[in-house]
Amino acid sequence: MILTIQQILFIVIALVVLISAVLVVTTRNLFHAALFLVVSFFGVAGFYVLLDAGFFAAVQVMIYIGAISILFIFAVMLTRDVITSARGNSQWIAAAVVAAAIFIIAAILLGPAALIIRGREFGNVQWSDPNGPAATSATVIGDLGRGLVSFNQYAVPFLLGAVLLLVAMVGAIWVARERRSRDMAAERAAAAADDIGSDTDQPVQEELPLPDNSMATEKH
């Protein structure tokens, strides 16, 4: 069997996505995990390009790499010690089993569905049809736009999406305020401790609090 260029590219991208995804869950450094996740996202954008869905590729890069991974990295930096905190997890076997089960179910359900949608037979799969119509052109993006605002298509889900974003904002602020009041309590406690005259060894930095004394002292 001779592979076409698209098939070779697909295999290469799939390998990149898979390997980096595995590294995300196996690496012990949380920041590295986030970076491997970025690589994985980038590979998925490559899939969209191979599917001629340029709009989704751009959205993938913009939202997932430009926004979600930044969010992840900020979240990573909220954890106490970034490098060593991935201390193995006693539930990983259960997690692996569940993930595998979901994957198999999804493959069984979605695989044939995708083939049926493309109007092809099961045994005779062609990954990319060079003679097929280009899926995403300017008109397709325009159709998507028209669909988003027409009532017999997606107008209602579209507006519900906006409401969902609003709810997400409210939730985020609620969580953040909780955290902030807790932070302030911690700061007050720290200030009280300073008054008593405990260690003043830490560097005083406005935006880089070192609440974790253990780390600083271990190194000495």
Map the footprint of another protein across residues 152-211, applying CB under 8 A: 155, 158-159, 161-163, 165-166, 168-170, 172-173, 176-177, 179-180, 183, 201-203, 205, 207-211
Nearest 5°: phi and psi at 102? -60, -40
* Site track for another protein across 85-114, x = CB under 8 A: ------------------------------
Scan residues 1-60 and list those touching another protein (CB under 8 A): 5, 29, 31-32, 35, 38, 49, 52, 54-55, 57-59
CA distance 14 to 17: 5
Beta-carbon contacts of 83 under 8 Å, excluding residues fewer than 6 positions away, are 28, 29, 30, 31
Binding flag, residue 83, another protein (CB under 8 A):
yes
CB of 198 to another protein, least distance (A): 16
Contact 64, 34 (CB under 8 A): no
Which of 150, 185, 192, 193 is close enough to bind another protein by CB under 8 A? 150
Nearer CB in complex with another protein: 7/136 = 136
Regarding 80 and contact with another protein (CB under 8 A), the answer is: yes
d(C-alpha 68, C-alpha 44), whole Å: 14
Nearest to 161 by CA among 178, 143, 147: 147
Position 127 contacts another protein (CB under 8 A)? no
Residue 82 within binding range of another protein, rule CB under 8 A: yes
Indicate the residue among 79 and 105 with the shorter CB distance to another protein. Answer: 79
**List of long-range contacts for 3-6, beta carbons under 8 Å, 24+ apart:** 4/128, 4/130, 6/50, 6/127, 6/128, 6/130
Choosing from 8, 12, 14, 70, the residue that interacts with another protein (CB under 8 A) is 70
